[in-house]
Amino acid sequence: MEFHHAIPIADDTKKRRRGGQRKKTGPAWNPTVGTSPSPPKQTASTQHQQHPQQGVGVGVVVVVVEDSNGRNGGRSSPSEIISRAQVTLTAEMVHLLTTYRTSVATWMDIFDYGCAYQLEVLRRCMTSKLLILSVCAFTAKHLSLLPSGDVWVAPATRYYGESLRGLIGYIGTGSVPEDVLTATILLCSYEIIATQGEEHQRHLSGAKLLILNRGVSASSVGLDRANFWIYIRHEITVALFNRTTLQISPKDWRVNWRETEVEEDVLANQLLWLLGRAIDIVFRQEQGVFTATTTLCDERQEIYDEVATWFRRWSPSVKGVKYGEPDDQGFSKLYFPMPCA
């Protein structure tokens, strides 16, 4: 399989390749001072190489982040898969990253106008091998489910296995990089479309622990906020399937809604919040958790009132516009300009 992608090389990279630049030597660390040296300044360099493979030239892009002394270290261990910022991209990876941005990433961002998974995740991929492997696994699995997608079955399995090994490298360590949560969410999404229920449940539990330990919530910003709401979508799916309450109660989501909110992505997340509260009320009763009748009635009435308020905030872009002739049962088609509607 061969993919053709033109990848530009920065002019300064070409200069370094021809003659190189003199590397600056940072100050030596004096162990008697009692403080560690400041984190090294990082400079990125990109190399483009052609490696023959069975008579066919396959482009490989190497993105290396060096410290101020020009060191990039040796071979990375599984536990260094994120902390050592050295990324190698093959033509296959570039194809998967490009496909990811225009396909599965749009699903992840359906309730996020900030497009964190289309933009920020790809930015971080350039310094996170674990994220690249997770993105490639998810995208390859998606491609394998399309017509004539058998060619992607093996790559999807390979990237998935490498991603798991990267995550295992952090088990028992005292520090977990923030990209581990994003990688876990991506693997959860892989397992949903791969119908791997047991593995999905394990990684969903792992995502919950990461969210709680790092204090991620609906009030977070950027990629943390996106990860939280995607996790909630997974949680709601599992809760409805298993008829159980949510692992993270909606009262602990730390939501902060504006009364005059009209943005479609925020209204969609508000619906998740209302749905999560309704799930907890219904399945709490089924699980035999005692709740006073008056409390249940008050909670239900509160949700009814808030749903009514939520409906009143709908704009035409959320309600949709009818078009075409009604069918035999009187239903008309609706056009929604925003996917999240």
- The per-residue pLDDT for range 227-272, each reduced to its tens digit, is 999 999 999 999 999 999 999 999 999 998 887 777 889 989 999 9
Tokens 């990811």 belong to 100
Specify the pLDDT at position 169.
83
Residue 316 pLDDT: 76
Provide the pLDDT for residue 19.
Answer: 43
Domain layout of the chain by residue ranges? 83-216, 243-323+333-340
**Residue segments in the chain with a per-residue pLDDT below the cut of 50:** 1-84
Confidence (pLDDT) at 286:
66
pLDDT of residue 86: 65
Q: Which residues of 295-330 are buried (b: 16+ CB within 10 A; e: fewer)?
A: eeeebeeeeeeeeeebeebeeebbebeeeeeeeeee
* pTM across the whole model: 0.72
What was the pLDDT predicted at 188? 93
Task: Return the axis-axis angle of helices 179-193 and 153-168, rounded to nearest 10°.
Answer: 140
The DSSP element (H or E) to which 74 belongs, if any, is: none
